[in-house]
Amino acid sequence: MSVKDNLTNIKSELPEGVTLVAVSKTKPNKDIMEAYEAGQRVFGENKVQEMVQKWEDLPKDIEWHMIGHVQRNKVKYMAEFVSLIHGVDSPRLLKEINKQAKKHDRVIPCLLQIHIAEEDTKFGLDKAELHELIDSEEFKALEHIKIVGLMGMATFTDDMNQVRREFAQLKSMYDDLKTKLTDINILSMGMSGDYTVAIEEGSTMVRIGSSIFGARNYA
């Protein structure tokens, strides 16, 4: 199956209102261009340097999403062009994004990453930290970032009941956040292995890599 066929199949399964982020990390420009030529414009990367390089090389109407964990000292390299940062999980990172966005006279849309998985290796805020952050005066003063939703990754397991429970938990935090902030309209959950469940549980944005581009050459 070609990138184009994979993309077409996945898109035909997505309900209206669910955005597809094609996760192109580690993949060459020619694969991205194949997806681009099939109409895809939203791509996700997890390393800032790699995303910057691709942004420089590829058509400028691509929307680049940073889906990985972001180090504060790398924010400056992507502040000019990044469309959405999915993995924001600390006030310090948010402040740095705000600072760099200001230099470019932009407001950068961000998702707060929530820890929903069982494994403690995954990044993210818990419920208490989320509320502490959004209730803080410091947060309210940030004019160059906009929180537009939440992102989460479920436990890596075959137990789809567990995955479903974790997504449902994130959805309920998302619904709650909507009552507290305006402009909340993105719930980023679901990858190649679990996006069907994620959509059933209310995802509005899925991040799909290997089902489009094939397996990556690392674990």
Binding site for ligand PLP (CB under 6 A): 23, 25, 46, 67-68, 153, 191-193, 207-211
Quick one: how far is CA 120 from the chain centroid?
19
Nearer to ligand PLP among residue 46 and residue 100 (C-beta):
46
Comparison of 83 and 210: residue with beta carbon closer to ligand PLP: 210
Residue number with CB closer to ligand PLP (122 or 142): 122
Tokens read off for 202? 């209310």
CB 124 within 8 Å of CB 152 = yes
Cα–Cα–Cα angle for 210, 151, 171, rounded to 5 degrees: 110
Position closest to ligand PLP via CB: 209
Q: Is 215 exposed, middle or buried (0-12, 13-18, 19+ CB in 10 A)?
A: exposed
Nearer to ligand PLP, 149 or 209 (CB): 209
Q: Cβ of residue 103: shortest distance to ligand PLP, in angstroms?
A: 26
DSSP 3-state of 109:
strand
CB of 124: closest distance to ligand PLP in angstroms? 11
Q: Which of 131/196 has CB closer to ligand PLP? A: 196
202 in Cβ contact with 171 (< 8 Å)? yes
Q: CB of 18: closest distance to ligand PLP in angstroms?
A: 15
Closer CB to ligand PLP, 93 or 153, in the complex: 153
Distance between first and last Cα of the chain: 22
d(CA 180, CA 121): 29
Question: What is the full DSSP assignment across 142-165?
Answer: --SEEEEEEEE---SSS-HHHHHH
CB of 143 to ligand PLP, least distance (A): 27
Shortest Cβ 195–ligand PLP spacing (Å): 8
Closest residue by Cα to residue 28 from 213, 192, 218 = 213
Distance, C-alpha 86 to centroid of its chain: 4
